[in-house]
Amino acid sequence: MKPAPFDYRRPTTVAAALTDLSSVAGARVLAGGQSLVPLLSLRLASPPVLVDINRVAGLDLLTTTDSRVHIGATVRQATVLASPVAARHLPLVVAALTRVSHPQVRARGTVVGNLCHHDPASEMPAVAVALDAEFTVLGPDGTASTVAAADFFGDQFEVAVPVGGLVTEVSFPVAPPGSGAGFFEVARKARDYALLSAAAQLTVTDGRISAAAVAVTGLGHRPLRMDTVEDALRGAAITADALRAAARLATGDAVPHVNRRSTAAYRTRVLPVAVHRALRAAAAQLEEDR
């Protein structure tokens, strides 16, 4: 496992990083390296230049502003998991991240890198889509734009970042009071990529569901928001029957996985089950908090 030759740059400012990324066609951002380095080793990717952003100032911040939590591009998955801010405000992010790989990998892997990699079997894109996460994307000339999660994820392994561009952060809305988060996945082994994963956040106001956010990954090539399930839940009281009935409405087109071995038929069959389990977990968290 030996990567093809590449040039290595380690800028310390965002401006320098953008310059390095534009210097050669095919230059690639290196964050935690937990997805990119295996690709290099397998020679499935052979970028001419790697731009290591780990020393770029200001990207390692985890901050809370105007009811959103902002996670900088070099913030490690482990840092988020250990953060009281995330525990308090981003219960769904925390629930999903505990299912992302092992502590060793999370100690290096970043949340942003994970989302930019956009493996179709990855857990976090479901959370990003469910919660309407926002990405701050810099173009090669430094112009910043905010991209909604719904527009960020393209086909598998593709995201809306322009050539020579960079994501500086992802932000998630703070979970409103009265929210419960639930995450469920089927995987071949503990902490493996998901065969299918479902993320759900339910907010209850005056005994009824005022907001429901539900999305899945693993079914198709991109994360899928479960609109029909959300619609059925909105306004309902949290009862076992309501959750079950809503979950049964989950539908979507399963496609064969690139390299994970589970059939499309399997994932279609398990879809409502996964959604149901995620909803039940969200309801259970609400119950606990009460």
CA distance 15 to 216: 36
CB 98 within 8 A of CB 90: no
DSSP sequence for 105-157:
HHTT-BHHHHHHH--TT-SHHHHHHHTT-EEEEE-TTS-EEEEEHHHHB-STT
Q: Which stretch binds other proteins (CB under 8 A): 21-29, 88-96, 189-197, 220-228?
A: 189-197
Out of ligand FAD, other proteins, none, which partner does residue 262 contact, by CB within 5 to 8 A per kind? other proteins
- Tokens, residue 183: 């995450």
Closer Cβ to ligand FAD, 35 or 83, answer by number = 35
By the rule CB under 6 A, 105 interacts with ligand FAD: yes
By the rule CB under 6 A, 101 interacts with ligand FAD: yes
How near is the Cβ of 206 to other proteins at its closest, in Å?
A: 29
Binding residue for ligand FAD (CB under 6 A) from 122, 171, 179, 262? 122
Out of other proteins, ligand FAD, none, which partner does residue 195 contact, by CB within 5 to 8 A per kind? other proteins
CA distance 140 to 129: 25
By the rule CB under 8 A, 2 interacts with other proteins: yes
- Tokens, residue 220: 């198709």
How near is the Cβ of 248 to other proteins at its closest, in Å?
A: 8
CA distance 156 to 60: 27
Q: Helix-strand-coil percent breakdown of the chain, rounded to 5?
A: 35, 25, 40
Binding residue for ligand FAD (CB under 6 A) from 14, 18, 36, 204? 36
Binding residue for other proteins (CB under 8 A) from 135, 153, 172, 193? 193
Whose tokens are 């990003």? That residue is 128
Binding residue for other proteins (CB under 8 A) from 28, 108, 191, 234? 191
Q: Which stretch binds ligand FAD (CB under 6 A): 26-34, 170-178, 205-213, 231-239?
A: 26-34
CA 121 remoteness from chain centre: 10
Q: Which 216-275 residues touch other proteins, going by CB under 8 A?
A: 244, 259-263, 265-266, 269-270, 273-274
- Tokens, residue 8: 């290595």
Q: Which 153-172 residues touch ligand FAD, going by CB under 6 A?
A: 161, 166-167
Closest Cα partner for 86 from 66, 63, 105, 59?
63
Provide the 3-class DSSP secondary structure of residue 63.
Answer: strand
By the rule CB under 6 A, 116 interacts with ligand FAD: yes
For the chain, what's the residue count?
290
Residue ranges binding other proteins (CB under 8 A): 1-5, 38, 41-42, 102, 186, 188-193, 195, 244, 259-263, 265-266, 269-270, 273-274, 276
Residue ranges binding ligand FAD (CB under 6 A): 28-36, 73, 100-101, 105, 109-110, 112-114, 116-117, 119, 122-124, 161, 166-167, 191-193
